[in-house]
């Protein structure tokens, strides 16, 4: 998050003698470039743009962003094929502002009635104060697609952002990303959230981010993200699901794994899915890579694993332990070595520096 002024010209050294005129010219240019009006315009533009889905990925796109005041809620968009560098023919929609933290307002809007498998160009802001053009693509009804899973971030945001950008550059066909919780170390720290969003927005202003709650996530996570409301009553967005192509994704808050209402919702949600592949995402591992001594793994095994197995979930993505792990297929607590025998593969990810 851009907290204050960033010197875009670097250090300027004043030199005596014949170079003093050049130095004065640079100083005057600097003052004009960064006049109060120019600085106000720079600060006012929307920042920390994150895509997600709150409804059907085939025909919708949700966009969330932050602004320094409550006047930056306009969104213009059009198909990439019709974009000639001008937004004169773009559709425009308005988003309401809600106070996010001590300095920023949060905006979010869900665009509906889009065309599947189509590229769009968009920008945010207001007249005379627009962001640069960004792009997104609606989902395709396909059985061949790529997505990214990343575990805990929690620290080292600059390094994580560089890794994320490099990953996307090397894999430009990625359609979205899952993130396994503990996005920051201290959810109440505005500066940390700013660092996370700064690092995230370079990629996730182009492809959707679908996260789950970790044990370090809380109010700012819930206040920022726009996620599907199809979870159990009272626990919407902590528990949710969505389809992409021929796959079904169910996202769970493992901090709340004993909730009976959530367990019933999980069973019904998976049972009703007719997708070929079923994936689950939650923070704490059912099968830890190393002893955790907190007992939450046994609780998840008791409360969720039987439901996941009964409904033939193929793979579960977890985090929490800050290391990489991939299990053999597991069914009813036993490794399934024989070819063709059903079992769930558990993948643990780690992304940050902690």
Q: Are 199 and 268 in contact (CB under 8 A)?
A: no
**pLDDT value of residue 1:** 45
DSSP result, 74-95: EEEEEEGGG-SS--TT-EEEE-
Q: What is the mean pLDDT of the chain?
A: 89
Q: Are 166 and 336 in contact (CB under 8 A)?
A: no
This prediction has a pTM of: 0.87
Residue range(s) occupied by CATH 3.60.21.10 in the chain = 146-348
**pLDDT value of residue 42:** 52
DSSP result, 94-152: E--EEE-SSS-EEEEEEE-SPPTT-EEEEEEEETTEEPPPEEEE-----S--EEEEE-B
Q: Using the 8-state DSSP alphabet, how is residue 201 labeled?
A: H
Residue range(s) occupied by CATH 2.60.40.380 in the chain = 45-137
6 pLDDT higher than 90: no
Question: Which residues lie below 8 Å from residue 237, measured CB to CB, with a gap of 6+?
Answer: 222, 225, 227, 228, 229, 231
- CATH number assigned to the domain covering 45-137: 2.60.40.380
Q: How far apart are the first and last CA of the chain?
A: 21
Q: Does domain 146-348 bear CATH number 3.60.21.10? A: yes
**pLDDT value of residue 294:** 83
57's tokens: 């990925």
Per-residue pLDDT tens digits for 222-275: 999 999 999 999 999 999 999 999 999 999 999 999 999 999 999 999 999 999
Counting Cα atoms < 13 Å in the Cβ hemisphere of 6 gives: 6
Per-residue pLDDT tens digits for 290-343: 988 789 999 999 999 999 999 999 999 999 999 999 999 999 999 999 989 999
């Amino acid at each position: 998050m851009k907290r204050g002024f960033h010197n875009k010209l670097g250090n300027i050294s004043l030199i005596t003698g014949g170079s003093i005129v050049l130095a004065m010219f640079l100083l005057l240019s600097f003052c004009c470039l960064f006049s109060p009006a120019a600085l106000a315009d720079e600060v006012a533009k929307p920042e920390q743009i994150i895509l997600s889905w709150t409804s059907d990925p085939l025909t919708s796109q949700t966009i969330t962003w932050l602004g320094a005041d409550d006047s930056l809620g306009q969104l213009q968009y059009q198909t990439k094929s019709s974009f000639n560098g001008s937004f004169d023919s773009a559709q425009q929609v308005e988003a309401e502002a809600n106070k996010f933290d001590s300095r920023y307002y949060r905006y979010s809007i869900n665009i509906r009635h889009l065309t599947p498998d189509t590229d769009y160009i968009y920008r945010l802001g207001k007249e005379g104060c627009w962001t640069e053009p960004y792009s997104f693509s609606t989902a395709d009804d396909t059985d061949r697609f790529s997505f990214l899973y990343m575990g805990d971030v929690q620290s080292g945001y600059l390094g994580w952002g560089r890794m994320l950008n490099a990953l996307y550059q090397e894999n430009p066909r990625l359609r979205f990303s899952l993130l396994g919780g503990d996005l920051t170390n201290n959810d109440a720290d505005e500066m940390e959230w700013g660092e996370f969003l700064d690092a995230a927005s370079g990629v996730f202003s182009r492809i959707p981010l679908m996260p789950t709650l970790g044990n370090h996530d809380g109010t700012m996570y819930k206040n920022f993200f726009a996620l599907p409301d199809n979870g159990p009553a009272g626990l919407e967005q902590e528990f949710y699901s969505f389809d992409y192509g021929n796959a079904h994704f169910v996202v769970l808050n493992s901090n709340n794994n004993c909730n009976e209402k959530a367990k019933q919702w999980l069973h019904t949600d998976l049972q009703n899915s007719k997708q070929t592949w079923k994936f689950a995402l939650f923070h704490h591992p059912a099968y830890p890579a190393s002893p955790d001594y907190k007992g939450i793994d046994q609780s998840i095994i008791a409360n969720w694993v039987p439901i996941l197995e009964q409904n033939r979930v193929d793979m579960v993505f977890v985090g929490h332990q800050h290391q990489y792990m991939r299990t053999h297929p597991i069914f009813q607590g036993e490794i399934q070595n024989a070819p063709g025998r059903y079992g769930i593969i558990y993948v643990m990810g780690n992304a940050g520096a902690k």
